[in-house]
Structure 1
């Protein structure tokens, strides 16, 4: 790894520490990174640490080795503004968007640049303990209790002890099974007007809640009542795909048109097409 890459990671780490409030809090929110490592890196003592350690930190704080530039698409501007507004109001909302709309990258950027934001990227294989452990880790709490009731209490008490109301962001919440969804009801009941809660999902989540409510499935009436304030993304436009191309250094109009057509509004596909084009053309 080049020294300039390491410097970029350390520069991002400095911003991350500022948003977390301290070096200790920053270290506790990162997997496999101790407070001593953070202290050494910030003091310029890089020699003891391998490239893998820099990559491990960089991957968790938003560094992109491919120099991928964040592009302020119409949906990005909308979501960043919405997240800021919801945080200030301590509101509860559900953001819906099609796959490939860029919502995850937008929330990663928001979480990396704003203090008191707890962003959880959900996974379908999690059980109850893994779900709660992930939240505690993102809160900077290591070695939590190993029993679910105590873990829940630690999360609730920890959030209530923030100096300013934090924002809980659950990305890809539609991946959670029913047993984990019930935890969201408890978070709402215990933390209403004490923090903001944002769920992000594809449109499947809305259908899931409405079908569960209609079929009188356990907990779904409560889930729909609490998280049924839906805010929807606009369809990604060809102009937004063009902005992404230009942001990554692709300027040729004919190539941009091809990427716009092939991606059909899916920014994930557009990003892959841009990556391949840049590799083939040495950009």
Structure 2
């Protein structure tokens, strides 16, 4: 990494520290970046700082207009993703929308080379689904049949250390895509972690599928350990801290934004941005 790039990262880091209010506070908001490392970078003492650290800091402070804060759900999910990954388990996570599942998954994947996040949607065909996995893995789907794509995914999972597939918003996919979970499990049992996550509708779909005897749903249910993981929900004080961290200083506004959010981090974000756009004389 050249000196010019490091200087840009230093400048971004300085702005980040200024926004948080202190170097110690900034280090607590970042992952695996000590207060001492921040001090050395800002002081120009770069000799003993590895490129990997520079890159980590760059990712965490660049585009830091919106900042996240640890919540009850994110703390649980940080532990959960790692635990499932290390022990090659298969699980289903259920939590209301906008509670931070996706952000937690992205953070986990960014820190674990062989963890792959696949964002699902209702338009996905079977081929779309497999292509999305291959793209996340850095593999090509060009010229491959559906069967060959499936085999490429399995081969990749069996080749790397502690692989993990995280399927976000899995409640949106078609029934036929559920059946891939059976193939993944059967061919990578005890070798790869698989997590599907979504809103309570995902739980309802699986339970209804089991009751109605839909093809594959009993098998899917048994492979997720015949249970659903429901993380603790975020506390109002944690949501309020997110708004405070992103620039809302007025206590009455913090209370209003938190109360109006109905537990949704997306609504916290939207209300915070509206507050920050107001003329200062109205925002007071």
* TM class, shorter-length: 0.7 to 0.9
What is the match of residue 203 of structure 1?
Answer: 200
Change (3 A) 1:237 1:212: same
Aligned pair count? 231
Compare CA radii of gyration and give the structure with the larger one: 2
Structure 1 residue 275: Cα displacement: 1.4
Is the 2:72–2:233 Cα contact (8 Å) retained in structure 1?
no
SS in 1 for 2:93: strand
Q: TM-score, normalised by structure 1?
A: 0.75
Q: CA deviation at 1:236?
A: 2.5
Q: Which residue of 2 aligns with 1:186?
A: 183
Unaligned runs of 5+ in 1: 9-41, 43-57
Give yes or no for contact 2:171–2:201 (8 Å, CA) kept in 1: yes
Say whether residues 1:174 and 2:171 are aligned partners: yes
- What is the SS of the residue equivalent to 2:278? helix
User: Does the residue aligned with 2:182 lie in a helix, a strand or coil?
Assistant: helix
Cα distance in structure 2, aligned partners of 1:197 and 1:103? 15
Mapped partners of 2:94, 2:279: distance in 1: 36
Question: Structure 1, residues 94-153: CA drift from partner, whole Å, max 9, x if none?
Answer: 111001111111111111122211110111101111111110011111244431111111
Partner residue in 2 for 1:245: 243
Helix, strand or coil: the match of 2:233? coil
User: Cα distance, 1:238 vs. partner?
Assistant: 1.1
Shift of 1:75: 0.8
Normalised by the length of structure 2, the TM-score is: 0.75
Q: Distance in 2 between matches of 1:117 and 1:214?
A: 33
What is the CA-CA distance between 1:177 and the residue it aligns to? 0.3
Alignment of 1:132-281 (within 5 A): 132-162=130-160, 164-227=161-224, 228-281=226-279
Q: Output one character per residue of 1:211-238: Cα deviation in whole Å (capped at 9) or x when no partner.
A: 1111111111111111233110223321
Residue of 117, 122, 135 corresponding to 2:115: 117
Q: Quote the RMSD (CA, aligned, Å).
A: 2.5
Bigger Cα displacement from structure 2, 195-204 vs 240-249: 240-249
Gaps of 5+ in 2: 1-6, 13-50, 52-57
Instruction: Please give the secondary structure, in 2, of the residue aligned with 1:230.
Output: coil
**Aligned mates of 1:90, 1:190 — CA distance in 2:** 13
In the TM superposition, 1:40-79 aligns within 5 A as 65=63, 67-79=65-77
